[in-house]
């Protein structure tokens, strides 16, 4: 029997990596995938080029807040894996409205449809940013949510809504919270691709404040494997942190990117810090490791080198986006 999976935001950076993995040679047998994506500035169908001819893939251009469309789709699907979001913290600082709409109302719209149409599993793809700043230690799934940016607050609200639908209605909801991702096809507004694109174009990279903010970096394909483990083997109503990448200050990361692009430190420009900038994120991913046997498989240095090579070889994809993002 075919399992019909609705992937929202499947033309985005991580959603598309998930779709490519599902339909790739090591993907599960017996799946059919529908991508629902509004193709905002962040969406790109080119990310799905390698699977576009696959008869198991259907693309629907639409909005997760469109209740009629979402209802119609939910009626024909078993699972929903929900990636669609406004995802860039800096944009949420300029205005949180689109974040509240897509990330909160969009999630609620999907949950309503999931309930009405008996969706079997709903995976809410979330972020470690909901835990907020952690001076020491690492957030477990039981840690309090303390989101500090409008982006993180909208994701935390969506997580609460999703989990409330498990508690109140018994909907099989599973939430993943992952650390920072990197890899091919990431929009050049995000730190690693932005810096690679800027350095490869001969420019200077803007480092926020002292650059000592600490983040955990995970290759997107490791994130995607974690999500698929949660969809197929996770427990209803449970949250799973996904991490285990490499923890670095933004400045250390910048130095590595400079080296990969053959640039020296004069190409760093320290700029005013981001408002409300969290100093440190860290997630404890013991649960997904113990329960589901998850382990990241990428070596960070190799993966960063591979990502730099990918950006070097795909200028035609990122150049138009980079010009707009600057």
Instruction: Indicate whether 37 belongs to the interface with ligand NAD (CB under 6 A).
Output: yes
Q: What are the Cα distances from residue 4, in Å, to 1, 22, 91, 194?
A: 9, 12, 33, 35
User: Out of 6, 7, 87, 318, which residue is the one contacting ligand NAD (CB under 6 A)?
Assistant: 87
Which residue among the candidates 63, 79, 86, 129 is catalytic per the annotation?
Answer: 129
- Active-site choice (151, 281, 294, 298): 151
If binding is defined by CB under 6 A, does position 148 make contact with ligand NAD? no
* Min separation Cβ 12 and ligand NAD, Å: 2
Assess whether 128 carries a catalytic annotation: yes
Segment interacting with ligand NAD, rule: CB under 6 A, options 48-56, 79-87, 205-213, 257-265: 79-87
- Specify the residue, 218 or 263, whose C-beta has the smaller distance to ligand NAD: 218
Q: How far is the CB of 190 from ligand NAD (least distance, A)?
A: 6
Per-residue x/- track, 175-214, ligand NAD (CB under 6 A): ---x-xx-----x---------------------------
Stretch that binds ligand NAD, among 84-92, 107-115, 300-308, 309-317 (CB under 6 A): 84-92
242, 218 contact by CB (below 8 A): yes
Q: Phi/psi of residue 268, each to 5°? A: -95, 135
Task: Give the separation between CA 16 and CA 326, rounded to whole angstroms.
Answer: 24
Q: Is 225 in the site for ligand NAD (CB under 6 A)?
A: no
Nearer to ligand NAD, 74 or 125 (CB): 125
Of positions 9, 183, 184, 243, contacts ligand NAD by CB under 6 A: 9
Q: CB of 92 within 8 A of CB of 149? A: yes
For ligand NAD, which residue of 5, 7, 32, 42 counts as binding (CB under 6 A)? 42
Give the span between the Cα atoms of 290 and 284, in whole angstroms.
12
- Are 148 and 133 in contact by the 8 Å Cβ rule? The answer is yes
- 129 annotated active-site: yes
Q: x/- site string to ligand NAD, residues 251 to 290, per CB under 6 A?
A: ----------------------------------------
123 binds ligand NAD (CB under 6 A): no
Number of residues that bind ligand NAD (CB under 6 A): 31
Report the interface residues with ligand NAD, using CB under 6 A: 8-9, 11-15, 36-40, 42-43, 63-65, 83-87, 102, 106, 125, 127, 155, 178, 180-181, 187
List, by residue number, the catalytic residues: 128-129, 151
């Amino acid at each position: 029997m075919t399992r019909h999976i609705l992937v929202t935001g499947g033309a985005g950076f991580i959603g598309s990596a998930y779709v490519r993995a599902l339909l790739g040679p090591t993907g599960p047998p017996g799946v059919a995938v529908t991508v629902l994506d509004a193709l905002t500035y962040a969406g790109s169908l080119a990310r799905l080029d390698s699977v576009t001819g696959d008869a198991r893939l259907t693309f629907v251009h639409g909005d997760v807040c469109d209740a009629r469309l979402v209802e119609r789709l939910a009626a024909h699907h078993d699972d929903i894996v929900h990636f669609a979001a406004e995802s860039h913290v800096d944009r949420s600082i300029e205005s949180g409205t689109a974040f509240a709409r897509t990330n909160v109302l969009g999630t609620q719209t999907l949950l309503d449809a999931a309930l009405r149409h008996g969706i079997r599993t709903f995976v809410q793809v979330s972020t470690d940013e909901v835990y907020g700043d952690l001076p020491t230690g690492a957030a477990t799934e039981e840690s309090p949510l303390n989101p500090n940016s409008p982006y993180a607050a909208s994701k935390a609200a969506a997580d609460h809504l999703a989990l409330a639908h498990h508690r109140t209605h018994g909907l099989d909801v599973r939430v993943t919270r992952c650390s920072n991702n990197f890899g091919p096809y990431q929009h050049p507004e995000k730190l690693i691709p932005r810096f690679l694109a800027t350095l490869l174009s001969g420019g200077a990279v803007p480092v926020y404040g002292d650059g000592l903010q600490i983040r955990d970096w995970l290759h997107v394909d490791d994130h995607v494997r974690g999500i698929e483990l949660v969809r197929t083997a996770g427990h209803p109503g449970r949250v799973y942190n996904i991490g285990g990448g490499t923890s670095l200050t933004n400045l250390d990361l910048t130095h590595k990117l400079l080296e990969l692009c053959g640039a020296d430190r004069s190409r760093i420009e320290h700029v005013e810090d981001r408002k409300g900038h969290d100093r440190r994120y860290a997630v404890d991913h013991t649960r997904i490791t113990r329960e589901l046997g998850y382990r990241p498989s990428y070596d960070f240095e190799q993966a960063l080198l591979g990502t730099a090579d990918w950006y070097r070889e795909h200028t035609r994809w990122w150049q138009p986006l980079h010009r707009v993002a600057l």
